């Protein structure tokens, strides 16, 4: 029984994984790929292999999730051992455990089969058949396989039959008329109409007549019987039969299945007869000529259906009322026998009457509101009515126009008119709009004017609006099945200004050009210098002004003039264009860029000296430009390259300064000079911008400060500088360190007798140059300048006797000020950390020169016995007091 | 050849390093070639199911050794017990094993990660020693690359603190094994290579609290020197002396440092069969982590605050001074029992104060301080132990 991983994955784990089950099924043998009989070794190998395979599934996959469920269940199964019998005490790695499991499963299944057999005998024993679907439902509830359920049916002598496909509704039109004709024609079934001597017949799965084997429910059969009927006298009975046959022939020619028609009619006739119960249905079927076996099948099927159907005619009518289907409810109510009707029927009729009255009121209110006109109110009433009778409401709604649009406005610009509006209540995604233009009068219907192209959404553009006259626009809302809305109108006069305005410049002149609407009468050009306005002669869509000073802005105002229908001049809105007379530009070669600390972070200061009167524009990009200095470029080239640099500009004599806020990173800056003959590039510069470090802090140690900070994302290099106002060799320093060095070793700064100011700058390399961020600084306290050491020696002693006089020798690395040193003694085994941790046995005031020795002695008080420590502390003065070897301070 | 017995850094069995097993190289012969597969012995003794080539004891311990399965050459050496390949330096050598353990929340994982990196990148160079990983799956990661990425890069580059070690009795932890290899000189001036296995197990502290993890017991028993990481925040006196950020405490789940030490003492006494009236010979470095939190309470001339000496030898005087000052700190924190316990039970021990991160992390976000990882004196304990083993000089 070797374990086949592929087969297990494809045959078990993958299908189970796809089911996304939340609990495991009763499939123990499949789950562990166990087939019996097997040997213990095989079982153990297979179970272990399966467990290993579960563990090997890739995390997060459906297979792994299902395998995890298996593993969880496996933990419990591992604990299970066979409780009794020949395999007692066996665990799941043995064949005996699995044989016991198989026996358990078999026994449980057998009990459930017996239980099902008893149920089936009670429910279906009298009819000898059971439907497959009913059996499947029972099997599922009792956790039996279909084969086991069929075995149960067989033990009680039941035949398992397929379900009968009975139409839910009339399979042909005019079924009620057919029903009526059959009734008047005194024929109980469709088969006996077509084949009068076919009873008993089979009808459940297909039509068959043992007595008339050739009988078929088809067009030929109907035609044959029609010929026979046509030969019969003109009586009401035969007329009805002929009519029924005629209807059946038409239906069959139209593709209807006459077996389905016959089955539906038969079922409707027996279930509508008022005969309750399966036995009653069976008897009714037999009485209509249905063969006994099919009568049993149909009775059982109909009983199953009845068990699951929602209820009787009254209940159905009630449900239809609640669903707003008044007409159908009335129809059903009318089919319920009312003689001596029950209370339920009376209540139903009362409800129907009330609903009808309420419907009438709502429809009348809707009509009244429509007359106002208030389409929104009318539609609201009809929606209310729809909750009673959707059909009535829908019929009436088809007469109510949509509500008109809201907030229509017209924007006149260029040569076009743009219309905007808002949808009103009741407008939805199916609502469309029609926009109509009329030069005569406001449109009242969509036919009163020229329709514009279908609008997109709630706006429309009239690109060909007539100019210099009043134009009326009307907007109508439309939808399928309802009249279009009333119009909403707006009037406009279009006076398009000149377009495509551009200006040429020379050293002392400007020349404005434009294009104008074809209907324009003429264009007026005015030179406006702020104080006076002077008319400029216009020639061939151009207006030129000469004799201007170089470098000063010139403003020209252009107005299109139209002639109205009454001959009056109508003037468009003015268009102003500005130009600066300029000579040819020279390339800017002296641009400089440098990061500076701005008021709100890092900025870049760009400085240059103007070399002519051309306009200088600076642009930046992350990549270098392809242009060399002095190259002519088009306006499109300039516009398409990089981003404009803007900022506060300070124009000083001979020098222009622009402080700009640029994002961190590398920037290539190109100066463009815009002159009278075109745009020329200058010498590009590069600049790196990096944010400063943040969170700079210094942790103070004995003689150094260890720095830490947070690096900005744009920099992996920093410059650390420090400065102290003392004469020490290490009083000033500057080091660069990379981020890797910072991570590996960190950085410390030496401390000295004066406060130390430390600054850190983040650095960034661009094109061989280093750019630094603004510095971040921190100031660290001074430490004492002079180091003072001391030694402690004891007077000779033997064991506990003697040695209680301590001689202290103090020396200094440099000249000190006045110092006060205390010698303390602390009983116990712990080094005293502070003077108050022991007893002060001596205080010495002293001043030392470099290399000078100073000695004093003190006796240990008798109260202090070994073990004890002695230690000196600096009580006052400016020095660093260093302990000697600690073993010399300890006694005992 | 003289018998050299060392603890296998993977299964902790004492093995004769001159009588190691051989492992097939996988090169095979023209006819056949061995495939890597799971080795039951490796799984049994180390829990590792990583596939490996067949491992065997040679019948002829001299000459070219051939794999008995494929006939191909077998040159790699392996532990005869757990079949895990050992570094070359392990062969024919005394390989003292130095371990690190700690209580839950003591910052042991952080300490181990920082120390491993420091030893490889800085400390080894300082002492002229080659320090490298000696296992292909340090701390259970699939390869050194993954360990470096997940552990070191996450912390040093991305600033993320590692998650606490989960106690999981079903899954055996894999050690981080570093091989410290340096030249040493004996009293006659003869120089020879000496290697020392530094085996760190990121063992959840609960294991030591409960004394139930056999693997932990084997580990402790095998170590020739031991570093014990303790969380000072679990000492009420220490905790009261500083203002701690939210989330700083409670990570040790009440693992009293004294109890942890007592457990370890108990294990060592049992495993090394030390009588009650004798002291344990195994040198023990008692390391109080997170010492940076106490910098504000220390005077600037306190040696605990001083930077490590950057000498080419272990500075014993500095170590002794720190030891005494740490004892004083214990006294100030009201935790003298720890010192007393150490004095009564160990021949050789020393106290250390270290900080793997150098600054208080952002506990709520499980991130290191924005200034990055700034280790403080993390190497001192291991250098002291190495000095004890003669692997580094003492100044």
The whole-angstrom separation of Cα A684 and Cα A670 is 4
- Chain B CB within 8 Å of residue A78 CB: no
Instruction: Name the B residues in 296-315 with CB < 8 Å from any A CB.
Output: 299-301, 303, 305-307
pLDDT surpasses 50 at A173: yes
Q: Which residues of B touch A879 (CB under 8 A)?
A: none
How far is residue A53 from each of residues A12, A597, A771, A808, measured CA to CA in Å?
A: 12, 63, 59, 78
What pLDDT is attached to residue A325? 80
Q: What is the mean pLDDT of chain A?
A: 86
The whole-angstrom separation of Cα A77 and Cα A55 is 17
- Chain B CB within 8 Å of residue A833 CB: yes
pLDDT band at B172 (very low <50, low <70, confident <90, very high): low
Q: Which residues of A touch B295 (CB under 8 A)?
A: 699
Distance from CA of A811 to the nearest CA of B (A): 18
**Highest-pLDDT range among A166-180, A625-639, B136-150:** A625-639
Instruction: Name the B residues in 96-115 with CB < 8 Å from any A CB.
Output: none
Which H or E run includes B55? strand B55-56
For residue range A531-549, list pLDDT tens digits in order: 888 889 888 768 898 888 8
For A430-475, the DSSP string reads T-EEEEEEESSS--SSTTSSEEPSPPBTTEEEETTPPBSSEEEEEE
More confident residue, B250 or A843: A843
Among candidate residues A494, A454, A455, A453, the one with its CA nearest the CA of residue A472: A494
| Count of CB atoms situated within 10 Å of the CB of A181 | 22
- Chain B CB within 8 Å of residue A746 CB: yes
Burial letters A515-541, b for 16+ CB under 10 A, else e: ebbebbeebbbbbeeeeeeeebebeee
What pLDDT is attached to residue A339? 46
Q: How many helices (H) and strands (E) does chain B have?
A: 11, 12
Q: Which residues of A touch B359 (CB under 8 A)?
A: 699, 708
For residue range A809-849, list pLDDT tens digits in order: 999 988 999 999 999 999 998 999 999 989 999 999 999 99
Considering only alpha carbons, which residue of chain A is nearest residue B319? A886
How far is residue A518 from each of residues A37, A311, A470, A566, A778, measured CA to CA in Å?
A: 100, 78, 18, 19, 73
- Chain B CB within 8 Å of residue A71 CB: no
Given an 8 Å threshold on Cβ–Cβ distance, is B301 in contact with A700? no
Beta bridge partners of A710: A694
The whole-angstrom separation of Cα B356 and Cα B109 is 10
pLDDT surpasses 90 at A139: no
**Spatial contact of A682 and A589, defined as CB atoms under 8 Å apart:** yes
- Chain B CB within 8 Å of residue A98 CB: no
- Chain B CB within 8 Å of residue A697 CB: yes
Among candidate residues B301, B305, B309, the one with its CA nearest the CA of residue B392: B309
Given an 8 Å threshold on Cβ–Cβ distance, is B295 in contact with A699? yes
Among candidate residues A362, A411, A413, the one with its CA nearest the CA of residue A384: A362
Token couple for A293: 């076996």
pLDDT surpasses 60 at B171: no
For residue range A454-512, list pLDDT tens digits in order: 787 889 998 888 888 899 999 999 988 888 899 999 999 989 899 889 888 887 888 89
Distance from CA of B126 to the nearest CA of A (A): 12
The shortest CB-CB distance from B328 to any of A694, A695, A833 is to: A833
Given an 8 Å threshold on Cβ–Cβ distance, is A744 in contact with B122? yes
The shortest CB-CB distance from A702 to any of B122, B305, B369 is to: B305
Residue of A745, A750, A835 to mutate, testing the B interface (most B Cβ within 10 Å of its Cβ): A745
Strands A615-621 vs A601-608: parallel, antiparallel or unpaired:
unpaired
The shortest CB-CB distance from B301 to any of A708, A748, A880 is to: A880
For residue A373, say if its preceding peptide bond is cis, omega within 30 degrees of 0: yes
B38 secondary structure, DSSP code = -
Q: What is the mean pLDDT of chain B?
A: 84
3-class SS of residue A123: helix
**Spatial contact of B249 and B104, defined as CB atoms under 8 Å apart:** no
Q: First and final CA of chain A: distance in angstroms?
A: 78
What pLDDT is attached to residue A276? 52
Alpha carbon A697 to its chain centroid, in Å, reads 43
- Chain B CB within 8 Å of residue A885 CB: yes
Instruction: Name the B residues in 189-218 with CB < 8 Å from any A CB.
Output: none
Q: Which residues of A touch B300 (CB under 8 A)?
A: 700-702, 783
SS3 labels along B105-153: CCCHHHHHHHHHHHHHHHHHHHCCCEEEECCCCHHHCCCHHHHHHHHHH
The shortest CB-CB distance from B156 to any of A701, A743, A885 is to: A743
What pLDDT is attached to residue B321? 93
- Chain A CB within 8 Å of residue B158 CB: no
Q: Which residue has the tokens 């057998």?
A: A110
3-class SS of residue A706: strand
Among candidate residues A664, A671, A666, the one with its CA nearest the CA of residue A687: A666
Burial letters A214-233, b for 16+ CB under 10 A, else e: ebbbeeebbebbbeebeeee
Residue A308, φ and ψ in degrees, nearest 5 = -105, -10
Instruction: Name the A residues in 461-480 with CB < 8 Å from any B CB.
Output: none
pLDDT surpasses 80 at A149: yes
Q: Which residues of B touch A709 (CB under 8 A)?
A: 370-371
The dihedral built from the CA positions of residue B33, B36, B42 and B43, taken in this order, carries a sign that is negative
- In this predicted complex, what is the ipTM? 0.80
Query: What share of chain A has pLDDT > 90, as a percent?
Result: 31
3-class SS of residue A28: helix
How far is residue B33 from each of residues A327, A568, B24, B50, B133, measured CA to CA in Å?
A: 88, 106, 10, 19, 28
**Spatial contact of A579 and A505, defined as CB atoms under 8 Å apart:** yes
Given an 8 Å threshold on Cβ–Cβ distance, is A710 in contact with B295? no
Strands A643-644 vs A615-621: parallel, antiparallel or unpaired:
antiparallel
Q: Which residues of A touch B122 (CB under 8 A)?
A: 744-745
pLDDT band at A175 (very low <50, low <70, confident <90, very high): confident
Tell me the CB-side half-sphere exposure of residue A348, using CA atoms within 13 A.
Answer: 26
- Chain A CB within 8 Å of residue B241 CB: no
Q: Which residues of B touch A829 (CB under 8 A)?
A: 327, 339
Residue B346, φ and ψ in degrees, nearest 5 = -125, 140
Given an 8 Å threshold on Cβ–Cβ distance, is B359 in contact with A695? no
pLDDT surpasses 60 at B210: no
What pLDDT is attached to residue A529? 78
User: What number is the average pLDDT over the span A378-394?
Assistant: 88
Token couple for B65: 């050794």
The shortest CB-CB distance from B374 to any of A708, A829, A887 is to: A708
User: What number is the average pLDDT over the span A682-703?
Assistant: 89
The dihedral built from the CA positions of residue B355, B356, B359 and B364, taken in this order, carries a sign that is negative
**Spatial contact of A647 and A662, defined as CB atoms under 8 Å apart:** no
What pLDDT is attached to residue B354? 95
Q: First and final CA of chain B: distance in angstroms?
A: 33
pLDDT surpasses 70 at B120: yes
More confident residue, B352 or A663: B352
Which H or E run includes A500? strand A499-505
Distance from CA of B359 to the nearest CA of A (A): 9
The whole-angstrom separation of Cα B250 and Cα B22 is 48
User: What number is the average pLDDT over the span A267-292?
Assistant: 78
């Amino acid at each position: 029984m070797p374990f086949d991983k592929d087969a297990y994955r494809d045959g078990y784990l993958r299908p189970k994984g796809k089911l996304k089950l939340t609990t495991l099924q009763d499939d123990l043998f499949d789950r562990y790929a166990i087939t019996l009989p097997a040997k213990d070794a095989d079982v153990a190998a297979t179970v272990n292999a399966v467990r290993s395979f579960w563990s090997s599934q890739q995390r997060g996959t459906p297979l792994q999730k299902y395998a995890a469920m298996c593993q969880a269940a496996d933990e419990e199964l591992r604990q299970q051992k066979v409780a009794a019998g020949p395999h007692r005490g066996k665990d799941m790695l043995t064949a005996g455990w699995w044989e016991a499991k198989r026996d358990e499963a078999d026994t449980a299944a057998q009990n459930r089969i017996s239980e099902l057999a008893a149920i089936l005998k009670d429910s279906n024993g009298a009819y000898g058949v059971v439907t497959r679907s009913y059996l499947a439902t029972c099997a599922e509830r009792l956790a039996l396989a279909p084969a086991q359920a069929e075995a149960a049916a067989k033990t009680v002598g039941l035949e398992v039959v397929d379900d009968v496909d009975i139409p839910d509704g009339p399979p042909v039109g005019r079924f009620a008329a057919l029903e009526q004709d059959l009734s008047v024609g005194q024929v109980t079934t469709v088969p006996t109409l077509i084949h009068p001597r076919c009873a008993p017949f089979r009808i459940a799965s297909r039509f068959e007549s043992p007595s008339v084997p050739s009988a078929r429910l088809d067009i030929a059969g109907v035609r044959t019987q029609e010929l026979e009927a046509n030969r019969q006298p003109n009586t009401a009975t035969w007329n009805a039969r002929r009519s029924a046959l005629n209807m059946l022939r038409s239906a069959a020619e139209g593709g209807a299945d006459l077996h389905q028609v016959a089955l539906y009619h038969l079922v409707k006739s027996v279930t509508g007869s008022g005969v309750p119960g399966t036995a009653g249905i069976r008897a009714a079927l037999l009485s209509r000529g249905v063969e006994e076996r099919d009568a049993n099948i149909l009775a059982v099927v109909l009983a199953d259906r009845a068990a699951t159907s929602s209820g009787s005619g009254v209940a159905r009518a009630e449900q239809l009322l609640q669903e707003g289907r008044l007409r159908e409810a009335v129809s059903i109510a009318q089919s319920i026998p009312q003689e001596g009707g029950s209370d339920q029927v009376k209540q139903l009729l009362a409800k129907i009457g009330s609903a009808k009255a309420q419907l009438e009121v709502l429809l009348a209110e809707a009509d009244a509101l429509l007359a106002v006109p208030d389409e929104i109110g009318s539609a609201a009433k009809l929606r209310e009515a729809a909750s009673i009778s959707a059909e009535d409401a829908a019929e009436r709604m088809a007469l109510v126009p949509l509500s008109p649009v809201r907030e229509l406005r017209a924007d006149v610009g260029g040569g076009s008119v743009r219309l905007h509006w808002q949808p009103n209540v009741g407008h939805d995604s199916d609502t469309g709009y029609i926009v109509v233009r009329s030069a005569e009068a406001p449109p009242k219907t969509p036919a009163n004017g020229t329709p514009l192209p279908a609008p997109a959404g709630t706006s429309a553009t009239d690109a060909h609006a007539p100019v210099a006259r009043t134009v009326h626009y009307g907007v109508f809302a439309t939808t399928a099945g309802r009249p279009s809305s009333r119009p909403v109108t707006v009037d406009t006069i279009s006076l398009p200004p000149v377009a495509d305005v551009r200006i040429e410049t020379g050293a002392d002149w400007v020349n404005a050009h434009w294009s104008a609407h074809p209907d324009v009468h003429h264009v007026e050009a005015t030179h406006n210098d702020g104080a006076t306005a002077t008319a400029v002669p216009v020639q061939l869509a151009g207006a030129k002004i000469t004799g201007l000073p170089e470098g000063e802005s010139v403003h020209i105002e252009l107005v299109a003039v139209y002639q109205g229908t009454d001959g009056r001049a109508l003037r468009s809105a003015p268009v102003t264009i500005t130009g600066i007379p300029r000579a040819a530009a020279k390339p800017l070669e002296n641009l400089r860029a440098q990061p500076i600390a701005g008021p709100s972070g890092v900025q870049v200061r760009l400085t240059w000296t103007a070399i002519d009167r051309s306009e200088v524009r600076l642009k930046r990009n992350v990549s270098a430009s392809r242009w060399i200095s002095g190259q002519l470029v088009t306006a499109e080239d300039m516009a398409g390259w990089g981003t404009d640099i803007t900022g506060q500009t300070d124009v000083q004599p001979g020098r222009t300064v622009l402080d700009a806020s640029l994002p961190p990173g590398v920037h290539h800056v190109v100066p463009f000079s815009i002159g009278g003959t075109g745009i020329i590039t200058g010498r590009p510069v590069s600049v790196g911008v990096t944010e400063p470090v943040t969170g700079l802090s210094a942790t103070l140690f004995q003689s150094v400060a260890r720095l830490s900070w947070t690096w900005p994302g744009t920099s992996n290099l920093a410059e650390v500088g420090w400065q102290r106002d003392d004469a020490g060799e290490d009083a000033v320093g500057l080091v660069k360190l990379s981020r890797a060095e910072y991570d590996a070793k960190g950085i410390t700064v030496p401390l000295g007798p004066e406060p130390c100011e430390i600054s850190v700058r983040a650095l960034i390399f661009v094109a061989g140059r280093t750019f630094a961020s603004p510095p971040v600084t921190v100031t660290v306290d001074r430490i004492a300048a002079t180091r003072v050491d001391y030694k402690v020696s004891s007077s000779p002693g033997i064991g506990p006797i003697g040695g209680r006089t301590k001689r202290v020798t103090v020396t200094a690395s440099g000249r000190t000020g006045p110092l006060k040193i205390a010698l303390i003694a602390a009983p116990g085994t712990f080094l005293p950390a502070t003077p108050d941790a022991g007893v002060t046995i001596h205080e010495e005031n002293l001043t030392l020169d470099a290399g000078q020795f100073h000695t004093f002695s003190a006796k240990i008080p008798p109260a202090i016995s070994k073990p004890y420590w002695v230690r000196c502390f600096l009580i006052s003065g400016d020095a660093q007091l260093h302990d000697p070897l600690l073993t010399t301070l300890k006694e005992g | 050849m003289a018998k050299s017995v060392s603890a296998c850094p993977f299964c902790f069995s004492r093995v004769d390093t001159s009588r190691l097993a051989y492992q097939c190289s996988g090169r095979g012969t023209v006819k056949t070639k061995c495939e890597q597969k799971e080795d039951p012995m490796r799984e049994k003794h180390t829990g590792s199911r990583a596939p490996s080539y067949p491992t065997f004891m040679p019948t002829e311990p001299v000459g070219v050794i051939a794999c008995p399965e494929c006939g191909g050459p077998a040159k790699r050496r392996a532990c005869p017990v757990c079949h895990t390949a050992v570094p070359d330096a392990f062969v024919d050598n005394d390989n003292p094993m130095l371990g690190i353990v700690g209580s839950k929340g003591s910052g042991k994982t952080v300490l181990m990660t920082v120390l491993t990196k420091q030893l490889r990148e800085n400390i080894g160079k300082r002492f002229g020693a080659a320090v490298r990983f000696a296992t292909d799956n340090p701390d259970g990661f699939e390869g050194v690359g993954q360990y470096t990425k997940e552990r070191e890069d996450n912390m040093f580059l991305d600033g993320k603190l590692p998650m606490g070690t989960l106690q999981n009795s079903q899954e055996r932890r894999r050690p981080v094994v570093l091989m410290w290899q340096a030249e040493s000189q004996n009293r006659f001036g003869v120089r020879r290579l000496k290697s020392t296995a530094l085996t760190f197990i990121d063992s959840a502290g609960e294991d030591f609290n409960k004394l139930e993890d056999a693997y932990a017991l084997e580990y402790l028993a095998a170590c020739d020197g031991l570093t014990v990481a303790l969380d000072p925040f679990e000492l009420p006196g220490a905790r009261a002396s500083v203002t701690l950020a939210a989330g700083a405490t409670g990570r040790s789940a009440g693992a009293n440092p004294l109890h942890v030490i007592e457990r370890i003492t108990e294990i060592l006494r049992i495993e090394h069969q030390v009588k009650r009236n004798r002291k344990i010979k195994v040198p023990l470095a008692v390391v109080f982590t997170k010492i940076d939190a106490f910098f504000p309470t220390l005077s600037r001339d306190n040696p605990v605050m001083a930077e490590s000496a950057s000498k080419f030898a272990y500075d014993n005087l500095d170590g002794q001074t720190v030891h005494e000052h740490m004892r004083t700190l214990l006294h100030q924190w009201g935790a003298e029992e720890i010192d007393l316990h150490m004095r009564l039970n160990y021949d050789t021990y020393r106290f250390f104060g270290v900080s793997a991160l150098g600054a208080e992390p952002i506990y709520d976000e499980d991130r290191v301080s924005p200034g990055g990882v700034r280790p403080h004196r993390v190497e001192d304990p291991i250098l002291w132990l190495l000095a004890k083993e003669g692997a580094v000089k003492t100044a």
